[in-house]
Amino acid sequence: MTEFDTVFRSLRVVTPAGVMPAAVGVRDGRIRAVAGHGARLRARCETDLGGTALLPGAVDLGTGVHTPGLELAEAYRRTARAALAGGATTLVVSPAPGRPAVTRADDLQVHLRASADSPVSVYLMGGVHPGSGPLDLTDLRAAGAVAFQCSLSDGGEPGMAGLEESRLRKAMAEIAALDAPLLVHAEDPVELGPALTGQRPPVAERRGLERVVAAARAVGTRTHVSPFTAAECAALLAAARSIGVGVGAQTCPHYLCLPTELLEPGSPAHAFRPPLRSDANRRALWSALLEENSAITTVSSGHLPARGLSTLEWSLPALWTAAARRGLGLHRLARWTAQGPAELLGLVGKGRIEVGCDADLVAFSAEEEMTVPRSDPGPYAGRTIAGKVGPVWVSGQRVR
């Protein structure tokens, strides 16, 4: 009989095939068996979670790491701790804001060194700005960038200015040749004129999305709009996908959970870009997310400490709380937060509890409620949410 390092048992193991009682055998950091709950699997160690669910670790796409006042290595350590507290075992780091912003291969190496001792898996995206040349993008891809990211306006922060139409299409063509996806912050700067900057209306997202779809259709680049907030634009995305345009979208739990009507004047949530929208938009965004073959395939935290937006620790429970109220299951949660981001980026060993995948696993007490401390710096402070995270294992080793 094959011996495993560890066998995990749970009455609710969340797999791509659904939620089921199962035993998960792990050896050398990878999942080597997914068997019936009572299967006789010989192991050096066994962990029986009972009715506590076992989720694949979340793959947080577009995480901001830069934290004013902290050295880069410490910023990575702090972000990793928040990730593990929130059930994320893989970070796909946004190139900006950053010190340095990841716009060249040398910058990427600086970040890789700073994150070398991280307890979570770290991947980096390359930043595209008006001065990015084909050699910069090629070098970034060769150095390990799993995707690229750009903005049409000010979403990229310092170090990554917005792209005009001609540069967007040129960059898309270069990235398509590198067989990498491009994430786009799609607010059109024309609609964010000086008089409207504080409002950031949905029309800015619509006009930007129209530009992105037209460019992606012409060039053929795999494109992901992030973050997607204006539910009125869902039909535009769906129409583009119906004619074969490779465009999808990502939203964040706060857009699905926190309507602007409920925000207190001093809430850090006022700093989100695009902003939180109305309760009617929030409900419509859920409808778009739940459509069959929805274009919204990923949900990630939007963690951005450089702007005072600390969301990683509570994003998964907040999303689950809202999903459970709609009668949805844990398999949806795992698909949006783990499987979807991993598939978008081609991270074949991540995001699934399946034979051959990394043993990145999260115990999740779905029914356990908790109140986020009033002192928490994020947008969920003082709210009661369900879904306690922990313990957490990365490559089969307990890290929290």
Q: Give 145-209 as a DSSP string.
A: --EEEEESSSTT-TT-PPPPHHHHHHHHHHHHHTT--EEEE---GGGG-TTTTTT--HHHHHHHH
Burial class from Cβ neighbours inside 10 Å (0-12, 13-18, 19+) for residue 170 reads middle
pTM for the model stands at 0.97
In angstroms, rounded to a whole number, what is the distance separating the alpha carbons of residues 319 and 308?
20
Kindly state the DSSP code that residue 163 receives in the 8-state scheme. Answer: P
Tokens of 156: 């990229």
* H/E stretch holding 184: strand 182-185
Distance CA 387, CA 321 (A): 7
Query: Splitting the chain (400 residues) into consecutive groups of 10 residues, what average pLDDT does each group show?
Result: 91 98 98 98 97 98 96 98 98 94 97 98 97 96 98 75 94 97 95 66 95 97 98 96 97 96 89 94 98 97 94 98 98 98 98 98 98 94 96 98
Cβ pair 336, 301 in contact under 8 A: no
Q: What pLDDT is recorded for position 284?
A: 98
**Type of residue numbered 400:** R
- Residues 386 and 370: their CA atoms lie apart, in Å, by 6
Q: Name, in order, each residue with C-beta under 8 angstroms of 304's C-beta and a sequence gap of 6 or more.
A: 64, 94, 97, 311
* DSSP element (H, E) containing 362: strand 361-371
**How far apart are alpha carbons 42 and 55 in whole angstroms?**
22
Q: What is the pLDDT of residue 265?
A: 87
**How many residues are listed for the chain in this entry?**
400
Question: Helix, strand, coil shares of the chain as percentages rounded to 5?
Answer: 35, 25, 40
- pLDDT of 196 reads 45
